[in-house]
Amino acid sequence: MMDIHQILKQLPHRYPILLVDRVLDIEKGKRIKALKNVSINEPYFEGHFPHRPVMPGVLMLEALAQAAALLSFDMLGTSPDDKTVYYFAGIDGARFKRPVEPGDQLILEVELLRSKAGIFKFKAQATVGGEIATEAELMCTMRSIA
């Protein structure tokens, strides 16, 4: 378990792009289960779409990547600092199966497939009420910045 205060210590993201509210379970170096409460107050709903608010698929992928980052930092026993950034390196096989709307609770499940030469590959899926909303394979990497 990890609450929002612990997440804020691990992820550099802040409102409106912090997309993980709580970690429900983490198995070191293997998998993580986290959640994102989807609220009508989120800024993207104003334009996506005014007549039918739907969470953008790219933001669901971002939420999964943030959960993957939490798994990576936990596995490495480290926290990011001002000189480190965790980047997307690739997204494969992304599929969007159902719309995610305000009031939904997005369950983020990420499993580490492999870690090689500083590149992490994950199998990721986000569900609502047991139904798959999106799934993809994500590749992420940490890089030092000046």
Q: Residue 68 is which amino acid?
A: A
User: If you search the block for the tokens 């499940």, which residue do you land on?
Assistant: 109
Q: What is the DSSP string of 41-57?
A: TSGGGGTS-TTS----H
Under a CB-based contact definition with an 8 Å cutoff, are residues 100 and 140 in contact? no
Out of 5, 13, 48, 51, pick the active-site residue: 48
Q: Is 63 exposed, middle or buried (0-12, 13-18, 19+ CB in 10 A)?
A: buried
Is 48 in the active site?
A: yes
User: If you search the block for the tokens 């104003």, which residue do you land on?
Assistant: 46
Residue numbers annotated as active site: 48
